[in-house]
Amino acid sequence: MRYETLLQRDRAVLIVIDIQEKLVGVYEPAVRERVLGGARRLIAGAQALGLPLIVTEQNPAAIGATHPVLRSALGAGALPVVKTSFSNCGEPKFLSALEATGRRQALLCGIESHVCVLQTALDLAAAGYQVHLCADAAGSRKEVDHAAALARLRQAGVVITTVETALFELLERCTDPCFRAVLKIVK
């Protein structure tokens, strides 16, 4: 038996929230690289492990599409759910896509931590999902906003984790056939 908040491959869905060109383009270079690098590794790991994946874009006409680094990682088949509500849960197409996965553990990455990520995480938690946020694959323009969002989410019961921790929880053992692929991703 595993501890209830450990991520499990058959229960988890990856949700990539609004990592869009114009938004991430105004980030400090170090934050931009952390968010993009973390999200890219998380996407690659989720794909290697066979997790379902949902990508959202907040008003792409104004903010641009998903960042090219992530579009490349996602592949041509990934069609983002377009939304105008800050919370993904305010978009019926997102809720339908999420329900279709049948998963109850929501693994999140994205921007901005204090707006769309925070509101999505809190709404998912209120709907009974076990929510995990990879802090190293999320960010805000201001570090104080990112830190405040993480603190508030932790206080609300969201599991604050990292990309590497999440992937190894999902992997569970070194004898898993996906072990070498995941190891290459995190190194």
Closest CA to 110 of 131, 140, 90, 82: 140
Each residue's pLDDT tens digit, 67-118 = 999 999 998 767 899 999 999 999 999 999 999 999 999 999 999 999 999 9
Domains, the chain, in order of start with CATH, read: 12-186 (3.40.50.850)
Sites in the chain below the pLDDT cut of 50: none
Q: Strand pairing partners for 57?
A: 82
Identify the bridge partners of residue 66 per DSSP, sorted by sequence position. Answer: 20
What is the percentage of the chain residues whose pLDDT exceeds 70? 99
Count CB atoms within 10 A of the CB of residue 85. Answer: 17
Whole-Å CA distances, 66 to 37, 95, 141, 157 = 14, 20, 17, 28
Residue with tokens 């998380």: 42
Polymer length of the chain = 187
